[in-house]
Amino acid sequence: MNKRDQGELRRRFKKEQCTIIRMAGCYVDAYRNKVLTFNENFLNLPEEEFYKYMDIAKKTLGGNIGNNILELEFPPEEESAGGRQQFYMGLRSSGLKNDDLLDRLYDLIIENYVHTGNFLILVFNDAYDIMSRTSDNLKLDESEEVYEYIIVSVCPVDLSKPGLGYREDEHRIGARRQDWVVGAPDTGFLFPAFNDRGADIHRIDYYIKDPKDSHPEFIEEVLGTGTRRTAKELKSAFTAIVKSAYGPDEDKAATVLTDITESINNRLEEIRADAEAGMAPSVPVVLDSRVMDEILRENNIEEDKASRIRETVADEFAEETPMLDALVDEKELKKNLEERRTRELVRENSELKKQLSVTNQGDGVIIKLPPSDEDGITSRIIDSQKYVLIPVDDDESVYINGRESRL
C-alpha cells in the first residue's frame, strides 16, 4: 500500500460511499473472557452507531506508511492448507457468516493482544467496485475489479473519567455516572493488502497506533507473517548504536548523531532531486555496509568509534536493512541543526571577545593584537603620564572590553 492507495480506500468511508456489508464483534473483559459477541448487517445500524463504527474502520487505515501501516508478506507455509493466509481467505469468503471462523479469530487475538484492560474486536466486510481510471487519473464508468476485503480493528475499552455532572432524574449536581467507552483502534489489519488499486492476497496491511512498538508477538501469532519494525523503531535502534559508541560522553554522541543524520538527509535530497530531474529512477536506498562506511568517512569519525558503529549496525540490521529515509526525522533534524548553529555562534562570539578585549587586571593592562601589528606599538610620556600608542587605520575598528569604541 502506498499513500495513493491508502487515500483511495479512506475516502470511501462516507455515508454516501460506504459499502460495508457486515460487521461482527467480540467484547472482551480484563480477564480475557468473551462478554459479548454480535454480527449485524452494517447498513441497518442506527445512524449514530453507523458513523462511530465507520470512523473506527477508517482509523485502522490511517497514519503514515512505514510507521503506522506496515505491509507484511505471508511465508510460503502460511499459504498452504491450515496456514494463516488460507484462514483469512476463508474468513473473507464467508462474508462473516461463519461463526467458527470468527471464534478462531477472536481466540487468536485474545491470546496475543497485549492489553491490561477490556477491549473490543471488530471485523468489517466490504466489497469495493473499483472503477477504471484514465492516464490523467479520471474515472471511467466501467468496473476494473471488485476488491473484497476485511478490516479487523482492536479497540481498548476504558471507563470514562469521574467527575461532576447534572443528575436530571434527581434535579441536582452530583457524581457523574461512569460507563465503558470504546476508544480508537490501537491495532488492526486489512486483508488482502490493497496494492496498485487491487487485491494482493500474498500480503496484509498491518496497523499500529503507536509506532514505537510494532508488537511482534501479534504479527507472528495472529497474522502469521515475518516481523518487521516500524521506521520509528529502526531509527531508535540506530540512535542507540551511535550513542553507545560514545559511552558517557552524551554531548559528543549527540553531535555525531546530528552530523550522521545530516549526511543521510543530504543523500536523500540528492536522490529526490535526481529523480525529479529525470536523471535517475526514484529507488529507495538502504543502509548497507558501503553506505555506512561512506557516511562514517564523510564525518571523520574516529576509527575505533567507526569500527564499533559499523559492527553493531551489521549485527542489529542483519535480517532487516533499513531504508535511509527511515533514519531521518526531518523536524528533529532541523531542530538539532538550529541548536548546533546557536552553540557555534555563542562559541564564535566568545572567541571574538577574547581576541579583541582589553582587560584591566589589578595595576596592569592586557592588550591582545595580531602578531603583524606588534612592531608598530610605541610608548610616549605626555604630561608626565606614560601612554602606549597603537597605530590604527581608518577602516579598522577598536574594541574595548568587548564593545566597539568610537575613538
CA 294 from centre of chain: 25
Q: Residue 74 above 70 pLDDT?
A: yes
pTM value is 0.77
Residues 102, 24 contacting (CB under 8 angstroms)? yes
pLDDT tens digit sequence for 338-374: 888 888 888 777 777 666 554 444 455 566 666 666 6
Q: How far is CA 104 from CA 97, 109, 321, 386, in A?
A: 13, 9, 34, 100
How far is Cα 322 from Cα 328, in angstroms, rounded to an integer? 11
pLDDT for the residue numbered 366: 61
- Sorted by where each begins, the domain ranges of the chain are 3-228, 233-349, 358-405
Tallying the residues shown for the chain, one arrives at 407
Q: What does the pLDDT look like over 76-114, one tens digit per residue?
A: 999 999 999 999 999 999 999 999 999 999 999 999 999
